Homo-oligomer: A and B are copies of this chain.
């Protein structure tokens, strides 16, 4: 039976009862898709208790319009989580996770100067801050993150290492549609034609000879490119289509 916790004090009691059993955590902002399902399946396979958080974290949105239209599909999410055999779902309120506003935050250093850090001011700080809160609240042995948000994954892994947090950060490969489009909650904001066209991001990243060439190709195809950059032996892109900001990345070695 899946337990759902909105009240954090009740969750804390439950966490005490779980004791030393291995807890896996998949932190999400809801609007779950096949990418989340892959994280959760692995979490369930590798831990005695599989926990999922659903919380649309306001501090990581630099654009209020992006936050306002972020999809919410709570009933569908709960049905999916139950089907996947999740043990505990936390649906905390913003007033419980940020009871005194946002006085403290985690600074991610040089990472904030590139890609998502540079193009979405406050994004990485907001992600680091909420992940640190959730890791402390849930106390997981393992936490699962997708490679689609690769920079976020690297930053979280480094934060966990820097602060001696006793959680293993597990990276999971990006899940893609048959077209190659990376699964993303924001895909739901695209038209049917937009979703087909958006697969060009993945194909351009895997075939272009260089990052600037990939940027030119995407611009010519009608995308508004935020950046295409190479880091950590991968090629990254962020681009707008139909006013929706999409990101993706591929390993350079595997091309």
User: With A136-B165, A164-B137, A166-B136 in contact, do A158 and B106 touch (Cβ < 8 Å)?
Assistant: no
- Given A103-B158, A104-B158, A158-B103, residue A163 in contact with residue B132 (CB < 8 A): yes
Whether A110 sits at the interface, judged by CB under 8 Å, is yes
**Band of interface residues on A:** 20 to 34
Name A residues whose Cβ lies closer than 8 Å to a Cβ of B: 100, 102-111, 125, 128, 132-133, 136-137, 158-159, 161-166
Which of A111, A136, A137, A163 has its CB near the most chain B CB atoms (within 10 A)? A163
Complex contacts, A165 vs chain B, CB 8 Å: 136
Bound complex: CA A165 to CA B159 (Å): 16
* Contact in complex: B110, A107 (CB < 8 Å): no
Q: Is the CB–CB distance between A110 and B103 below 8 Å? A: yes
A137-B164, A164-B136, A165-B136 given; A104·B108 CB < 8 A: yes
Contact present for A107 and B105 (CB under 8 Å): yes
B103 touches A133 (CB 8 A): no
Please name 14 pairs of A and B residues whose Cβ atoms are closer than 8 Å in the assembled complex, sorted by A.
Answer: A100-B162, A102-B109, A103-B109, A104-B109, A104-B128, A104-B158, A104-B159, A104-B163, A107-B107, A133-B162, A133-B163, A133-B164, A136-B164, A137-B164
